[in-house]
Amino acid sequence: MGYCKTVTFEGKFTLKSGNSFPRITLAYETYGKLNADASNAILIFHALTGDSHVASHAPDDPIGWWEEAVGPGKAYDTNKYFIVCSNILGGCKGSTGPMFINPETGKPYGLQFPVVTIADMVNAQMLLLDHLGIKQVLLASGGSMGGMMALQLAVSHPDRCKNVQILASTGVVSPQSIALNEVARQAIYADPNWNGGDYYADGHPRPDKGLAVARMIEHITYLCEESMQNKFGRNLRGRQQVGYDFQINFEVESYLRYRGETFTHRFDANSLLYVTKAIDYFDIGDGYSSLDEALKRIKARVLIASYSSDWLFPPVQSVSLASAMLRNGIDTTYVEIESNYGHDSFLLEVEKLSELTRDFLESASHHEVSETAKIQSRLQDKRQDHDLILGIIPSGSRVLDLGCGTGELIERLSYEKKAKTRGVDLCEKNVRACISKGLSVRQGNIEEGLRDYPEGEFDYVILSKTIGYLDNPQAVVKEMLRVGKRAIISFENAGYWENRIKAMKGKGMGHTLLSGEPRCRLITLSQFEQFVKSIDAQIERREFLQNGKHIASPEMLDRLVEEYRYLGVEKEEGPALLADTAMYVLKAKSS
Amino acid sequence: MGYCKTVTFEGKFTLKSGNSFPRITLAYETYGKLNADASNAILIFHALTGDSHVASHAPDDPIGWWEEAVGPGKAYDTNKYFIVCSNILGGCKGSTGPMFINPETGKPYGLQFPVVTIADMVNAQMLLLDHLGIKQVLLASGGSMGGMMALQLAVSHPDRCKNVQILASTGVVSPQSIALNEVARQAIYADPNWNGGDYYADGHPRPDKGLAVARMIEHITYLCEESMQNKFGRNLRGRQQVGYDFQINFEVESYLRYRGETFTHRFDANSLLYVTKAIDYFDIGDGYSSLDEALKRIKARVLIASYSSDWLFPPVQSVSLASAMLRNGIDTTYVEIESNYGHDSFLLEVEKLSELTRDFLESASHHEVSETAKIQSRLQDKRQDHDLILGIIPSGSRVLDLGCGTGELIERLSYEKKAKTRGVDLCEKNVRACISKGLSVRQGNIEEGLRDYPEGEFDYVILSKTIGYLDNPQAVVKEMLRVGKRAIISFENAGYWENRIKAMKGKGMGHTLLSGEPRCRLITLSQFEQFVKSIDAQIERREFLQNGKHIASPEMLDRLVEEYRYLGVEKEEGPALLADTAMYVLKAKSS
């Protein structure tokens, strides 16, 4: 690792615990070139047992732990960006850690090393940024423990990062993770060679057996049921049938033993104790009066990604973090990536990660340079009701679009109305399309997802041609009116005269039984208005369309009634019969 | 444990591995009285580290591991049944195991003890049944490893059990379980006191540290994320703030250390090695030419129950076992019990288990003694279309009812038509209601669940007033025609004249937006017939109802057309306008 540099920062470095070091050393590697105004830096944080060697620097350099993601033309493009990755404080790959000499005793620290936290690790790397002349990184990114560091950076040092990526991680470590870490530690303590952490003397045996068991436990948590089935199944290792013995029988046993054993050659047992302890202690609200107070400090745009099969830091924990951020008005995008590699997905699903990162970074710049032409080209397939919605919403409004799809409406609202927009959509692909447009979208089910938002967070909440597909429209619209001052709801009018004739002729209404036709409720204007009463809301405005044309005035309605005089339509029932699409603006009765 | 008896079976006992014991000893306990014809015996199998003491025998007797489930008036009612529970072969609670003296050496077996399998453990207990004069048990039941034993019994000794309950278990142990077991074993191997399994000599230290780590790993797998959150959260143990040290900080750490340590007082490390190995080797197809061949041997009625939060033997594994049984024509009921205790649920959710067991056992007897009166009383709320279906299906048919609800139709088919019925329903509560009626029902989604059944397994597959609620009716009906010779589909006719008038008046059709009204497709006769064409099926029979009355003949239809002459209905469009409910019998085009 000839590309690995070290830098020592003289002077007292105080830890969260109150303990301090007289000086600290960090090992780090950099890739690419820092530009003149130092605005192209990306700080990558490694996970539990990673190091500064995130990728190779040259063909003859060993490959790094995120080789596929870092390099020329890759997700973290070293042609464009200046990438920095440092071994963590407390590690064993060049940075100050338990193997280092304790200046007070002249012997390796061992268990005299003070307990460090994720916040301490991040603080140490701020010294490195100073050293490199970087005031603010364009992006801080990390997976697993690295994601905790990225989050901690955004909270502790809000001015030092413009964007953060938190992958396969959590805002607060769960008791299950603590339990798994504790068992790993107990496996090390149980090894007599560990000797209370004092085993660095020449000739002293190392606690390799305990460390190997600890690593095996960790490896199980990196995989998942499905990835193990795919990778090993019940395949036997080098034999035709089970041996009725305690030798290696199954491939999965062989894998674990190998992983456990090789780990002892590259990692220090004490370091594993310290790093797992730092993870246990991680709770982003810690040190602030509340979680909300901590998250409110964030100034960066945040991208949170979870992986569907990750059971170590499962999607529910990322959802919970994303929800808390949304509740505190942080510009947050959340996406759950479908994957069957378990927790390891953040290292293995590099293609999806690359696309996501590229989109997130590009849209970060495009948030500054408005590329109108690029946007216009996307907007050719405008939906007719969108024009109407744009007409209703005043400039600068705060808008939430439920079932935002690939983001056409909120993109228009963002650019044409300078609205502060947010979206929710169930589909990973749609969310990723939104990210590529620089939109902040939360992946989730709109029947559940609104509880994240505080009361009155939005001026308008939109539900465009989606209400018929909801399982519980009452609950959703009530929630819309809690989180928004106004709700805008559009739907196709089942009572449109052509639909009635079709029904009368027995040609059916709504969707057929054929595939691709979803189950949908049919809604007439009178049914909708009855529904509005049932949720104790009031109608502020009604708008109607026919054949894409807005029925904009009483005179237009008169003309329509006249045009369809053969139907014998009374003027008051005009919209109920003559509008194929309706849009209502609702507000809560009390407001 | 004064109530614990032991019995030694002299004579060679041969294991699956080919090894043998000259004799084996089993420790066991019994509860209640065996009746005269020995027909009331229940054999309970314990899990990994359990023993024969399933419940207390007297107030001053220590409580057992399933105390809440076994006793007078409890699920396994000792007033009615004769309960037998034995410590497994290879265990350390009185049965032959690694602590026993090896007759060849005069010293404890240790690692000289041959590897035993689940099948060996079950075979040993058959000797016990012989000893107790029991040819066939009424029920064999067990959770986790105990469930594997119950399944193995049903396959290896099909004539020795009438009913089996397989709880929180699996038909084949997954690589993830093997991996977890292997790490537990490695923790024991890593303890120098283990000494290759030779530690029984007086004064020799025991591998307590390794065994404690192994047990901690197991304990994590018995809980789940949610149960850990509820039980411990991030609560600190006996302190106000984290200690920045390696003492116990969190309650979950304290719990694990305590569980690990106390375990060493009650269990033998070598025994844990042998029992985990037996679990690793468990694959119910093992020893037969295929899984199907193994399962085909089963004669017992089978109840499989999984628990929603169990990640050690997750519901998907029970589903897979239930599917394989259904595929092989075994009388199988499957239910997924909603619970947030993880794998431990089978021990903790005793109330649900009790109800399930009581229903399963009672319906087992009621399968013999037809309690007509009891059944009739349940059948008062007959659905009109059910009479029609009963009229169509010949006696003795094999029938599958999709979305069977609480089982009214298949109960009638079973008793009135002596049909061999099966049901599928999504809802745990419905499935449990079916179990209480002695019906065999599989919990699951009908949009996925049909793939379990082999081609032509049924004479009739019924979809009664459910097709409108399906997301993909084409796929479901195609599957119905694969697994059944005929499909019977009933639905409400959206083209019924009253519906048409309602639609014409703009009063809407189908369900409203109000809560409790599900999303449903509207179907007219012509739409349905078009749908039948789209899946390349043919209509064998059409039946129509109006106001619960069957339009049974052309004459009746004539009368109806006449009665509704003010509608001006042509005779050929009579049913389309005058039937409020339609029922079709379909078959595949090629058949």
Does B521 reach chain A within 8 Å, measured CB to CB? Answer: yes
For residue A295, the model assigns a pLDDT of: 98
Phi, psi angles (nearest 5°) of residue A269 = -60, -45
Segment B312-326 mean pLDDT: 94
Q: How far is A134 from chain B (nearest CA, A)?
A: 31
Interface probe for B, chosen from A16, A20, A109, A176 (most Cβ of B below 10 Å), is A176
**A390 and chain B: CB distance < 8 Å anywhere?**
no
Q: Which residues of A touch B231 (CB under 8 A)?
A: 175
Which residues of chain A make contact with B185, given a CB cutoff of 8 A?
A: 246
A217 CB within 8 Å of a chain B CB: yes
pLDDT of residue A474: 94
Q: How far apart are CA B341 and CA A248, in angstroms?
A: 33
pLDDT range class, residue A373, cuts 50, 70, 90:
very low
Give me the percent of chain B exceeding a pLDDT of 70.
Answer: 96
Q: Is the pLDDT of residue B367 over 70?
A: no
Of the pLDDT bands very low, low, confident and very high (cuts 50, 70, 90), residue B302 is: very high
Q: Binning pLDDT at 50, 70 and 90, where does residue A376 land?
A: very low
Active-site residue flag, A144: yes
If one counts every other C-beta atom within 10 angstroms of the C-beta of residue A7, the result is: 15
Q: DSSP assignment of A544-572, as one string?
A: EEETTEE--SHHHHHHHHHHTGGGT--GG
Distance CA B497, CA A506 (A): 9
A:6-25 residues touching chain B, CB 8 A cutoff: 16-17, 19
- Look at residue A371 in the predicted model and tell me its pLDDT: 47
A57 to chain B, closest Cα gap in Å: 36
Q: How confident is the model at residue B88 (pLDDT cuts 50, 70, 90)?
A: very high
What global pTM score does this model have?
0.91
pLDDT in tens, B35-68: 999 999 999 999 999 999 999 999 999 999 999 9
In this structure, the strands spanning B537-546 and B581-588 are antiparallel
The span from the CA of B419 to the CA of B484, in Å, is 14
Question: Are A256 and B182 within 8 A, CB to CB?
Answer: yes
Q: Does A205 touch chain B if contact means CB atoms closer than 8 Å?
A: no
Reading phi first (left if > 0) and then psi (alpha if -120 to 50, else beta), residue A416 is in: alpha
Alpha-carbon distance of B396 to B413, in angstroms, equals 9
Task: Please state the rounded mean pLDDT for residues A170-188.
Answer: 98
Among A51, A268, A310, A359, which one carries the catalytic annotation? A310
CB A569 within 8 A of CB A519: no
- Residue A577: the pLDDT is 87
Give the pLDDT mean for B568-589.
89
Q: Which one is catalytic: A343, A397, A436, A550?
A: A343
Q: Which residue of A has its CA nearest to B312?
A: A225
In chain A, which residues have their Cβ closer than 8 Å to the Cβ of B219?
A: 179
Query: How confident is the model over B204-221, as pLDDT tens digits?
Result: 999 999 999 999 999 999
In angstroms, rounded to a whole number, what is the distance separating the alpha carbons of residues B234 and A55? 36
A528-561 pLDDT tens trace: 999 999 999 999 999 999 988 888 888 888 888 8
Mean predicted confidence (pLDDT) in B23-31: 98
Stronger pLDDT, A577 or A119, i.e. the higher one: A119
Does the beta-carbon distance from A508 to B514 stay under 8 Å? Answer: no
The mean predicted confidence, pLDDT, of chain A is 92
pLDDT of residue A374: 44
* Cβ–Cβ gap A523/B508 under 8 Å: yes
Averaged pLDDT, A365-380: 45
Q: In whole angstroms, give the CA distance from residue B424 to residue A510.
A: 28
- Give yes or no for residue B532 having a pLDDT over 60: yes
For tokens 């639909």, what's the residue? Answer: A499
Q: Do B504 and A504 touch (CB under 8 A)?
A: yes
Alpha carbon of A341 to those of A47, A50, A222, A278, B314: distances in Å? Answer: 17, 19, 8, 25, 18
Task: Over range A245-269, report the average pLDDT.
Answer: 96
- pLDDT tens-digit readout, B228-264: 999 999 999 999 999 999 999 999 999 999 999 999 9
Rounded Cα gap, residues B155 and B324, in angstroms: 13
B134-169 pLDDT, tens digit each: 999 999 999 999 999 999 999 999 999 999 999 999
For B500, the closest of A111, A191, A504 (CB atoms) is: A504
Residue B507: list chain A partners with CB under 8 A: 524, 526
Q: Are the Cβ atoms of A504 and B503 closer than 8 angstroms?
A: yes
Q: Which one of A467, A506, A519 has the shortest CB-CB distance to B513?
A: A467
Quick: pLDDT tens for B428-472.
999 999 998 889 999 999 988 788 888 999 999 999 999 999 999
Tell me, what's the pLDDT at A365? 55
B230 in contact with A, Cβ within 8 Å: no
> Quick one: tokens of A294?
């901590």
Measured between CB atoms, which of B187, B474, B494 is closest to A515?
B474
CB–CB of A217 and B212 under 8 A? no
A225 and B CB contact within 8 Å: yes
What is the pLDDT at residue B288? 96
Contact with chain A for residue B101, Cβ under 8 A: no
What pLDDT digit, counting tens, does each position of B476-522 carry?
999 999 999 999 999 999 989 888 888 888 876 667 777 778 888 88
Which ranges of A372-507 would DSSP assign to H, the alpha helix? 372-378, 384-392, 408-416, 428-436, 473-483, 497-504
CA B228 to mean position of chain CA atoms: 25
**In the beta sheet, which residues pair with residue B493?**
B523
Q: For position B381, what pLDDT does the model report?
A: 46
| CA distance, residue A309 to nearest chain B CA (Å) | 12
Rounded to the nearest angstrom, the minimum Cα separation between B210 and chain A is 7
CA A104 to chain centre: 44
Instruction: Name residues whose C-beta falls within 8 Å of residue A17's C-beta, 6 or more positions apart in sequence.
Output: A114, A115, A117, B244
Please give the Cα distance from A287 to A151 (Å, whole number): 14
Query: Of A68-82, B28-42, B115-129, B544-558, which range is least confident?
Result: B544-558
Q: How far apart are CA B123 and CA B13, in angstroms?
A: 9
Interface of B with A in 159-198 (CB under 8 A): 172-176, 178-180, 182-183, 185-187, 189-192
How far from each other are the two terminal CA atoms of chain B, in whole angstroms?
65
Q: How far is A109 from chain B (nearest CA, A)?
A: 14
Global ipTM: 0.90
What pLDDT is recorded for position A463? 96
pLDDT at residue A1, rounded to an integer: 46
Domains located in chain A, CATH noted = 5-182+276-364 (3.40.50.1820), 183-275 (1.10.1740.110), 371-588 (3.40.50.150)
Residue A554 is predicted with a pLDDT of 84
State both tokens at A83. Answer: 């990438």
Categorize the per-residue pLDDT at A381 as very low, low, confident or very high, splitting at 50, 70 and 90.
very low
The secondary structure of B87-146 as a DSSP string is PPTT-SSSSS-TTSEETTTTEE-GGGSPP--HHHHHHHHHHHHHHHT-SSEEEEEEETHH
Cα A491 to Cα A497, A525, B114, B564, distances in angstroms: 15, 9, 71, 36
Q: Shortest Cα distance from A445 to chain B (angstroms)? A: 17
**B502 to chain A, closest Cα gap in Å:** 9
CB-based burial label for B520 (10 Å; 0-12, 13-18, 19+):
buried
Best of B182, B189, B208, B291 to substitute, by most chain A Cβ atoms within 10 angstroms, is B182
pLDDT above 60 for A369: no
* pLDDT winner (highest mean) among A575-589, B85-99, B413-427: B85-99
B190 and A176: CB-CB below 8 Å? Answer: no
- Could you tell me which residue, A498 or B34, shows the higher pLDDT? B34
Name residues 33-52 of chain B within 8 A of A (Cβ). none
